[in-house]
Amino acid sequence: MINSRDILETIQMIDNENLDVRTITMGISLLDCIDPDANRACEKIYDKICRYAGNLVRTGEDISREYGIPIIHKRISVTPIAMIAAACPDKNPVRFAKALDRAAKTTGVNFIGGYSALVHKGFGPGDYALIESIPQALSETEYVCSSVNIGSTKAGINMDAVEKMGRVVLETAKATAERDCVGAAKLVVFCNAPEDNPFMAGAFHGPGEPDCVINVGVSGPGVVRAALAKAGDCKMDEVANIIKKTAFKVTRMGQLVAQEASRRLCVPFGIIDLSLAPTPAIGDSVAHILEEMGLESCGAHGTTAALALLNDAVKKGGVMASSHVGGLSGAFIPVTEDSGMIDAARCGSLSITKLEAMTAVCSVGLDMIAVPGDTPSEIISAIIADEAAIGMVNSKTTAVRLIPAIGKKAGEELNFGGLLGGGPVMEVNRYSPLKMILRGGRIPAPIQSLKN
Amino acid sequence: MRAVITVIGKDMVGILARVSSVCAENNVNVVEVTQSILQDLFAMIMLVEISKCKIPLPELSEELTKTGKELNLSVHVMHEDIFNSMHRI
């Protein structure tokens, strides 16, 4: 029989340490829905999503009940809509966002990602229209998430897109100002965007993916923190070891759920995303893991080193537990979704500059950070450019998800509720980057891109 | 197909009887039982055979959780594969 200590450890993880499978995300290709008649294309999209994902939520709930493992989200990612909308360039692409929203409602998922464009090297006919329509699309839909890839290690950074996205982020926040600017929380600007990421808001189904696929994102910051707390004083080598072992167990659970979901839905298994994704719930914080390692508050000097160890150990532990690893895979640091980060930002220990340094060693980027509502768009563009540069040079994914808090100043608070959480508005450096941002053009791909 | 039932809570008379009677009613065979006292908490782990169970596993789980609530115990029913995959290479 299985060791009773192991059984009780698993029960403890689920009951008290927030162990869960964070998301089962079904990726669906919409390339066969392209139609020069935009309304016809929307019908095809709605029909295909409902046909493929009709059983997704029920299957997720069944697996959750049978295996006794909480599965928090069931979600859908689709082919970047700019590719589909390109076939009908004279039509407003918002109709596609509404079709996605309807499909999300019908299937019962809580987010659908893929109102996206990939413009790292330049704009295609569908891309301009889609990017311009993002503020309207996100303010008139409930479940749709949007992302734009503006740079890559291979292509460099599209500075025209960077300039544009600064304005789009600001306009999206303004368009949803009466709802705590929540539109901007559903918009991610990427460098090196992964094509198989199951996590929102940046999930989309890349053009290199199969027709349909199941990707699973695991989580478990609370489990890691509890394991470290149990270990007490030990050297950093041992800290890394404990994190690896914990990540292994968590990922094996995710792999089992992914295989089972794939089998029941008759859809191939894609990848496991080995991520530590926090939630605002107490005991589910990445910041608290860093503090458990011995920092008084997240953001203190030493935070980047602690995060580097954490991020690396999570991958090392997880990679052996799963047959295919992909997505973002690493520790997330979304400020408003992490109770420890929220506290650190409130007390002044965590600043945007420190967060930027942290993004160089962790999986994503400047995530869920509220900035003052009067921040000029060129400063948002410049923050995007800085973050993209870190991703481009280090051959890693970086992203920016800033929420300009319209009508609010630094120190005031935004509150989205639910998983998106809430938190203090953080100050930005006000010196102007306007002249550089207006130059436009492209930052050439770095020498690291020349690997052939 | 086998599942693991864990019962955690304050020790009292009749826990094993109540849980195993729910199993018996549903044609679930108890393969193995271990009990231990952790501090003053009672922990019972049952390995059960559910292939011939009259009701689907989620329903069995709900019924046992309900029984647990009546006795103020925390009851989990989980597929055996979870533990095999998490704790064995």
Cβ neighbours around A349 below 10 Å, total: 18
Full residue range of the structural domain in which residue B50 is found: 2-87
Flag whether pLDDT at B40 surpasses 80: no
Query: Residue A214 corresponds to which tokens in the numbers above?
Result: 């199941």
Cα–Cα distance measured from residue A73 to residue A55, given in angstroms and rounded to the nearest whole number:
14
CB–CB contacts below 8 A, A to B: 68
Residue with tokens 């492209």: A442
Could A68 and B76 be called an inter-chain contact, meaning their C-beta atoms sit closer than 8 Å? yes
Judged by a CB distance cut-off of 8 A, whether residue A241 touches chain B is: no
b/e map A296-314, b = 16+ CB within 10 Å:
ebbbbeebbebbebbbbbb
CATH 3.20.70.20 holds for A1-452: yes
Cα–Cα distance measured from residue A243 to residue A292, given in angstroms and rounded to the nearest whole number:
12
Query: Residue A437 corresponds to which tokens in the numbers above?
Result: 């941002």
Judged by a CB distance cut-off of 8 A, whether residue A266 touches chain B is: no
Contact A145, A203 (CB under 8 A): yes
Q: Where are the domains of chain A?
A: 1-452
* Nearest-CA distance A4 → chain B (Å): 7
Of all residues in chain B, what percent carry a pLDDT higher than 90? 34
Instruction: Indicate the helix (H) or strand (E) that contains A428.
Output: none
The residues with which A21 forms a beta bridge, in sequence order, are: A71, A218
Contact A416, A205 (CB under 8 A): no
Could A68 and B78 be called an inter-chain contact, meaning their C-beta atoms sit closer than 8 Å? yes
Q: Is the pTM of this model over 0.90?
A: yes
Q: At what angle do helices A159-175 and A377-393 cross, to 10 degrees?
A: 130
Question: Residue A226: is the preceding peptide bond cis (ω within 30°)?
Answer: no
Q: Closest CB to B85: pick one of A14, A15, A256.
A: A256
Positions of chain A with pLDDT lower than 70, given as ranges: 1
Nearest CA in chain B to A250: B86
In this prediction, residue B89 carries a pLDDT of: 80
In this prediction, residue B16 carries a pLDDT of: 87
Q: Position A353: which residue type?
A: T
In this prediction, residue A310 carries a pLDDT of: 95
At residue A289's C-alpha, the angle toward residues A284 and A291, to 5°, is: 120
Flag whether pLDDT at B88 surpasses 90: no
In angstroms, what CA-CA distances link A75 with A32, A110, A313? 21, 6, 27
Residues of A with CB below 8 A from B43's CB?
A: 4, 8
Judged by a CB distance cut-off of 8 A, whether residue A178 touches chain B is: no
In this prediction, residue A1 carries a pLDDT of: 60
Cα–Cα distance measured from residue B11 to residue B37, given in angstroms and rounded to the nearest whole number:
8
Number of domains within chain B: 1
Could A252 and B32 be called an inter-chain contact, meaning their C-beta atoms sit closer than 8 Å? no
Instruction: Tell me the CATH number at B32.
Output: 3.30.70.260
Contact A90, A71 (CB under 8 A): no
- Sign, Cα dihedral of A187, A102, A277, A319: negative
Q: Closest CB to A10: pick one of B38, B74, B86.
A: B86
